[in-house]
Amino acid sequence: MKPCGWLEWEAEQARDWISRPEAGDDKYSRGVLGVRTGSRDYPGAAVLGVDAAVRTGLGMVRYLGPRRAATLVLQRRPEIVTVPGRVQAWLLGSGINSTTRSDAVTTALRAALAEGLPTVLDAGALDLMSRAIGPTVITPHAGELAVMLANEAKPGSASQIAANPGEWAIRAARLFDVTVLLKGAVTHVASPSGARLTVSTGPAWLATAGSGDVLGGILGALLATHSDQLEADAASLAPLVATAALLHAEAANLASAGGPIAALDVADAVPRAVAAFLGHGIDPGPRPTR
């Protein structure tokens, strides 16, 4: 049962938060996402996030991570740009370990945050949340949120958070003054201004390695395509975050068709999920009940 005050986010609402390119658009007006993800130990996180971002519908991705990860990204997606330049949003931290990252990586992450652009903070960049000055969404699972809360007045264990994710998502949004996407069987999106949105349509097969990296790419793309709107209206962030979670879930449904999936399968299905939401006659697939 959904807690009182939470709204289940649906495709009819999500379609209004997906940008459609127009005849006069170019790659810059369609949104440019900067990505600092991946590491020597987890280069695949970069590939998954970048691939998902490209398939969500933006003009350009700049990948600025480690050399090996950049090589793998370019092998998968040769259109990716790997030199610094203008970006309109950032995806930071996927596949990075906050306890082992180098000083150079930390400096680069801090520099991105200092730009004040719409930002997705994931995994190994969550500890830098206090440095974010632009519209920011954090994407922890229960264990990561427990670590973030460990030094607060009312910490919570991973099991406590998993048992009552809505309450803890609200608490984290108020405490940290950022929008929170708390991953789980049901995704909870909470903002400091009071938005309370859930997404519960993904298949259980979505609990697979790299799934969160794909979600980060989808979310980063939506922030890049709506950067001007976010600058004018910070309340736009919560529905964008919920839309990303719903696209992720529906892409998983399309990829699965009732069977097992891997994370890259989900990324491959994102264009079909986008097309379905925009009303191009494609069934977004079954919606499992929980």
Work out the percent of the chain whose per-residue pLDDT is above 70: 95
What is the arithmetic mean of pLDDT over 21-46? 95
Q: Rounded CA gap, 164 and 153, in Å?
A: 18
How big is the chain, counted in residues? 290
Where residue 151 falls among pLDDT bands split at 50, 70, 90?
confident
What is the arithmetic mean of pLDDT over 90-117? 97
Tell which CATH classification among 3.40.50.300, 3.40.50.10420, 3.40.1190.20, 2.10.109.10 matches the domain 7-277.
Answer: 3.40.1190.20
Does residue 96 sit in helix, strand or coil?
A: coil
User: Cα–Cα distances in Å, from 112 out to 2, 143, 176, 194, 290?
Assistant: 37, 25, 19, 27, 39
Residue 84 has pLDDT above 50, yes or no: yes
> Per mean pLDDT, which range of 150-159, 173-182, 250-259 is the poorest?
150-159
Does residue 200 sit in helix, strand or coil?
A: coil
What is the arithmetic mean of pLDDT over 193-218? 96
DSSP state of 3: P
Mean pLDDT of the chain: 94
Task: Please give the structure tokens belonging to residue 219.
Answer: 């979310």
What is the arithmetic mean of pLDDT over 90-96? 98
AA identity, residue 253: N
Q: Rounded CA gap, 156 and 137, in Å?
A: 20
Residue 13 has pLDDT above 50, yes or no: yes
* Segment 214-272, tens digit of pLDDT: 999 999 999 999 999 999 998 999 999 999 999 999 999 999 999 999 999 999 999 99
Residue 101 has pLDDT above 50, yes or no: yes
CB 196 within 8 A of CB 190: yes
